[in-house]
Amino acid sequence: MVTERKMEEKIQALLEHVEDQEQREHYTRLITTLLEKGYFPGLAEVPVVKSAVSHIDGMHGKLTYRGYPVEELAEFCSFEEVTYLLLHGDLPLKDELDELRMKLLEQKDLPLDVAELVAKFSPKLHPMNMLSSAVLMLEGADKGSAMIKNNKENLERAICLIAKFPTIVGTFLSKDPSFNKGKKFSSFSEYALFCLSPEQSRLPERVRQFEQSLILHMDHTMNNSTFSARAVGSSEAGIYSLISSAINSLSGPLHGGANERVVKTLEKIGGPENVVAEVDDSLEHHQKIMGIGHRIYKTYDPRAKFFKDHILPNIFVDELKDEEPDLWRLYATAVQLEKYVAEKLGKKKLYPNVDFWSGLFYRALAVEPEFFTTIFAMARVAGWCAHWLEQREGDGKIYRPFQLYAGFDIRHIVR
């Protein structure tokens, strides 16, 4: 029998040629998991693709898009610039930027049949299910979309689709297929905020904060929805199918759907004074606290940090205590929750993720919690499309992993 020590030596011998220390540690963890479990639960740490779109350094809490730190992009760039960066690999020149801004605004309208159907969708439908259905329906007006060999056409399709996300949500919310007609907008972010919260879109500083919040969400390596987009894309299905699948993945509470649950949890807790009892109760019942933890970050999520340090302090100013006491109470509850969770779960390296703080911002924009994840999707669709375009230029292999069979041996019908 091979002793643990011998096994360790064998693994190290196998990895002798791997010079990068981090990569060595990564492979060691992978091999150890394989030997111990025989498979990789949740595909944790399994490299499935080579991608140049974004990168996370989970130990140091760093996220970059095409090499640029996400905080710098949020501070200095527009949504259009970052969209261009993700789709093309580099920041745009002025003409390229103007062209993209114009395209995003010109292509925002839905085909009339889709707009009319979305306006008539039952209000009981969750907005994320509504969004994924509406995206699928767009295929009807774009019959060439099954031909995916031409990346120039794929790129134009991607821009066209990104432009339509806010309109889908605005049409569903207003129940009016022509809710945006006759109105002029200067940027994607202004328009997107108008679709969700028309009053707030009149305030330039809110539009800018909203734009920053979009930028923070635009890509995030091989997360569940991007993986879904790539998995569907690998079968050579068209853009509407893969983006619709990605939306469905994003809706889950362990992924983007957490932002909706965070605010609902804060409402349920009811105030900072109840935090300790509620958290203790959840942990006792092995319930996860929404907005806490991350597969990759083992320190504070940089996107959560940007919300906490740069966006929320501009909104949760002292005057809000009197002007909007309910909203202030949610904020105070979140601050207390963060503190107590750090005390209880800090040793497990569990910290607030982006969804912990983003929901408070969306609530301050007067958006209903069920719509929070649609905002996430409006941003992340740019990342999904960037991954799809990259995939189209890659090895073209269909995703088809392996299962360990755990069912019956062959058995026969006996009559």
Identity of residue 136: L
Q: Which of residues 387-406 bind ligand COA (CB under 6 A)?
A: none
409 in active site: no
Whichever of 258 and 332 has its CB closer to ligand COA, that residue is 258
We find the least distance from the C-beta atom of residue 300 to ligand COA, in angstroms, to be 13
Name the residue with tokens 């259905």: 133
Strand spans (E) along 12-105: 54-57, 62-65, 68-69
Assess 291 for contact with ligand COA (CB under 6 A): yes
Distance CA 315, CA 6 (A): 58
Distance CA 79, CA 354 (A): 18
Q: Is 11 exposed, middle or buried (0-12, 13-18, 19+ CB in 10 A)?
A: middle
We find the least distance from the C-beta atom of residue 41 to ligand COA, in angstroms, to be 8
Stretch that binds ligand COA, among 57-65, 179-187, 189-197, 251-259 (CB under 6 A): 251-259
**CA distances from residue 212 to 20, 33, 310, 358 in whole angstroms, order as listed:** 35, 39, 10, 11
Stretch that binds ligand COA, among 54-62, 198-206, 324-332, 344-352 (CB under 6 A): 344-352
Token pair listed for 411: 């058995």
We find the least distance from the C-beta atom of residue 397 to ligand COA, in angstroms, to be 26
Whichever of 173 and 350 has its CB closer to ligand COA, that residue is 350
Assess 355 for contact with ligand COA (CB under 6 A): yes
Whichever of 254 and 320 has its CB closer to ligand COA, that residue is 254
Assess 294 for contact with ligand COA (CB under 6 A): yes
Dump the DSSP string for 326-349. Answer: HHHHHHHHHHHHHHHHHHHHGGGT
Token pair listed for 290: 């929404």
Q: Any long-range contacts for 98-101 (C-beta under 8 Å, 24+ apart)?
A: 100/159, 101/187, 101/188
Whichever of 33 and 187 has its CB closer to ligand COA, that residue is 33
Stretch that binds ligand COA, among 88-96, 133-141, 238-246, 286-294 (CB under 6 A): 286-294
Assess 350 for contact with ligand COA (CB under 6 A): yes
Stretch that binds ligand COA, among 56-64, 170-178, 346-354, 391-399 (CB under 6 A): 346-354
We find the least distance from the C-beta atom of residue 288 to ligand COA, in angstroms, to be 4
How many degrees, rounded to 5, is the angle at CA 286 between CA 285 and CA 292?
Answer: 125
Nearest residue to ligand COA, scored by beta-carbon proximity: 293
Whichever of 114 and 279 has its CB closer to ligand COA, that residue is 279
Assess 292 for contact with ligand COA (CB under 6 A): yes
Among 31, 160, 254, 327, binds ligand COA (CB under 6 A): 254
Stretch that binds ligand COA, among 65-73, 165-173, 342-350, 371-379 (CB under 6 A): 342-350
Assess 289 for contact with ligand COA (CB under 6 A): yes
Question: Which is catalytic among the residues 220, 301, 355, 387?
Answer: 355
φ, ψ for residue 294 (rounded to 5)? -160, 145
Assess 348 for contact with ligand COA (CB under 6 A): yes
Among 290, 315, 375, 385, binds ligand COA (CB under 6 A): 290
Per residue in 237-265, is it b (16+ CB within 10 Å) or e — as a string? bbbbbbbbbbbbbbbeeebbbbbbbbbeb
Distance CA 277, CA 363 (A): 24
We find the least distance from the C-beta atom of residue 106 to ligand COA, in angstroms, to be 33
Distance CA 267, CA 334 (A): 10
Assess 258 for contact with ligand COA (CB under 6 A): yes
Assess 250 for contact with ligand COA (CB under 6 A): no
355 in active site: yes
Instruction: Tell me how many residues contact ligand COA (CB under 6 A).
Output: 18
Question: Which is catalytic among the residues 217, 220, 294, 387?
Answer: 294
> Around Cβ 379, how many Cβ atoms within 10 Å?
24
Name the residue with tokens 């996430």: 376
Q: Which of residues 33-62 bind ligand COA (CB under 6 A)?
A: 42
Among 62, 88, 208, 295, binds ligand COA (CB under 6 A): 295
Distance CA 347, CA 44 (A): 21
Dump the DSSP string for 150-192. Answer: -HHHHHHHHHHHHHHHHHHHHHHHHT-TTTTTT---SSHHHHH
Q: Which residues are catalytic?
A: 294, 355
| Residues making contact with ligand COA (CB under 6 A) | 42, 254-255, 258, 288-295, 345, 348, 350, 353-355
